[in-house]
A and B are shown apart, each in its own frame.
Chain A
């Protein structure tokens, strides 16, 4: 069975500080991992994905995520937070061996960037 956990319901960060949103996963075999962002009253938007290769993945809006196989984690990071980064962030996973395209989303982490 596939699962993904986002242990923090909310993260507060001061503007200009680095931010981290945590994600851990559980799948059989190798994972495909995704981060999405949801702004108020909008649908989810794709930020970045890990398929294979370099463990550090760079995505939209200056975000990056680091895949750590030993810790089964895929934390989202940004060196310097902006107030406009305040949103709901979702981590998602799919087992690479699966033939279907269903991905499992975490419950989301609300990120508040304080001015």
Chain B
């Protein structure tokens, strides 16, 4: 199995531009999580989906952030417009929902730099 796949691995953009981060979860996993990691704030859960449905988006910082999961094998996190304070590493993770608890499997992350 290829594990959780994220793209791009690095993104550099200018303030005000739209940024789209992509994630492909592990096949057969039905929960997907988006996290943000910074030195100052550590690892923060932004949103998570269960069976493609957003369950908890309380961690999404503001309306500039949106996430979708149109099917079981693909999710996007969009920032529009981007700001320098959005610079961080964004991780996607997936797991199985069931009799668990099952551990989450993390992707390699997307390092976002907004100038």
- Which residues of A are interface residues toward B (Cβ below 8 A)? 32, 34, 36, 41-46, 49, 51, 90, 94, 96, 100-103, 105-108
Whether B103 and A49, one on each chain, are in contact in the complex, defined by CB atoms closer than 8 angstroms, is yes
Whether B101 and A101, one on each chain, are in contact in the complex, defined by CB atoms closer than 8 angstroms, is yes
Whether A43 and B42, one on each chain, are in contact in the complex, defined by CB atoms closer than 8 angstroms, is no
Could you tell me the distance between the alpha carbons of A41 and B89 in the complex, rounded to whole angstroms? 9
Within the complex, which residue of A41, A49, A90, A94 is in contact with B43, where a contact is CB–CB below 8 Å? A90
- Which residues of B are interface residues toward A (Cβ below 8 A)? 4, 31, 33, 42-43, 45, 48, 50, 55-56, 91, 93, 95, 97, 100-109
Kindly list chain A residues whose C-beta atoms are within 8 Å of the C-beta of B95: 101
Number of A-B contacts (CB under 8 A): 56
Besides A36-B106, A43-B109, A102-B48, 5 more A-B contacts (Cβ < 8 Å) are: A43-B91, A51-B101, A90-B43, A100-B55, A105-B43
A100 nearest CB neighbor, chain B only = B55
Kindly list chain A residues whose C-beta atoms are within 8 Å of the C-beta of B108: 41-43
Kindly list chain B residues whose C-beta atoms are within 8 Å of the C-beta of A100: 48, 50, 55-56
A49 nearest CB neighbor, chain B only = B103
Whether A108 and B42, one on each chain, are in contact in the complex, defined by CB atoms closer than 8 angstroms, is yes
Kindly list chain B residues whose C-beta atoms are within 8 Å of the C-beta of A106: 42
Kindly list chain B residues whose C-beta atoms are within 8 Å of the C-beta of A32: 101
Whether B4 and A102, one on each chain, are in contact in the complex, defined by CB atoms closer than 8 angstroms, is no
Kindly list chain B residues whose C-beta atoms are within 8 Å of the C-beta of A108: 42-43
Kindly list chain A residues whose C-beta atoms are within 8 Å of the C-beta of B103: 34, 46, 49
Kindly list chain A residues whose C-beta atoms are within 8 Å of the C-beta of B104: 44, 46, 103
Closest 3 CB pairs of A and B: A43-B106, A46-B103, A107-B42
